[in-house]
Amino acid sequence: MVIRKLVAAAVLSTGFAAVDAAPAFAADPAAKQPMFGFSTLRAATPEAAKAKVEAWLKSVDKFDKAAFDKVWADEGRTVLDRTADSLALGNTEAAVILANVRKPDAPAPTEIPGLLKDASQDAFFRTNVVVAFAKAAASKKVYEEALEALNSVTTPEAAVDPAAFYFFKAVSEHATMRKEPATGSIVKLLDDVADAPDRYKMVATLMFFEMQNWSPDPKALSNIERLMDNSGRRLELARAGEKTQDIQKKIVFRLDELIKELENKNKPGDGPPNGGNCPGGGPPGGPPGSSPGNQNNPTQNAADSMIMGGSGKGTVDEKQLRQIAEQWGGLPPEKRAKIVEDITRDQPQKYKQMIDEYFKSLNKIHGYK
């Protein structure tokens, strides 16, 4: 109760008071649509969940008593997992979906299976298979697909474990930097689910208060670090596609803005620093450390890339990062090391660590140590 009061106070102070009452949808479209309220959702007992699954299997003429009883005999598994597995007895596609997402060594799902988005499916069946899918996907850090699956559900009250529904939704929203939706899911979990497990409530409360400290400034180091975490996570999942590249572009753009801002603060006078030259002392457009009479003798096009050597500070822009990422797999170890050295030279330690992490991610995806 103390935690809920603290959360409620924080919600009111941050302008999120409206999120703690969202509409619920009855299984019968003709029934009056109720509103969720304080502590109105509860986990189904094993007996109640088992009875609902049995009724559904019989309705689709797929009830196999021996297989059904075997699933429910395993009391070491959660009610949600047993519900999903027994539902899968009546739908081979659902069985394959759950088996694949739960395999530790299986590739992470890259899209939501059509079955999970099919609104024509029975609400009890689809909701619980979706929650089981999202739980397994989130455990693999596949937050985007977990969240998309959960967002497709309009009947969270049909879940045998509504706490799991809101908890994994909040985890996925928090991990992908969706502050307002995550706040709403956490408030739902704490206020609307009467018997949410303490482990869910504790983590959710920590996420809530951590988000209240997120800076509104996109250039804040903490926000850039979160983008770095997301980029690294996606690279670990072998997702180096357009979404990951967009995140990387944001990282570089914001780092560049932040570094320029710090450099400008540290330079006296109102005129252009270094007489309009680059930070390393060279003319505009030249590589760091170069001068009209002393150019580095580059073997590649220095106009597009500023990592060719010299003694000035390493800087990186969006185009350069893209070029580096594209060429990284074909570069020899000494060239990769030189690029990292040039870009991180003279940067504050905080920024060096962040940039190092980016290149470590590139190394991972290309199989380098």
Question: Do 178 and 50 contact (CB within 8 A), yes or no?
Answer: no
Going along the chain, which residue ranges are E strands?
A: none
Q: What is the DSSP letter of 44?
A: P
pLDDT at 237: 57
pLDDT at 294: 46
Interval 85-116: pLDDT, tens: 999 999 999 999 999 999 988 777 778 899 99
Question: Do 173 and 182 contact (CB within 8 A), yes or no?
Answer: yes
Interval 26-44: pLDDT, tens: 333 333 334 455 568 999 9
pLDDT at 250: 67
- d(CA 251, CA 259) in angstroms, rounded, equals 12
Task: Read off the tokens for 332.
Answer: 């020899």
pTM of the model: 0.58
pLDDT at 367: 62
Give the three-class secondary structure for 170: helix
Question: First vs last Cα of the chain: how many Å apart?
Answer: 49
Ranges of the chain with pLDDT below 70: 1-39, 218-263, 265-323, 325-326, 343-369
Write the DSSP string, 114-160.
HHHH-TTS-HHHHHHHHHHHHHHHHHTT-HHHHHHHHHT-S-GGG-S
CA distances, 72 to each of 50, 53, 69, 347 (Å) = 8, 11, 5, 59
Show Cβ contacts of residue 350 under 8 Å, excluding neighbours closer than 6 positions.
Answer: 221
Angle between helices 65-73 and 46-59 (to 10 degrees): 160
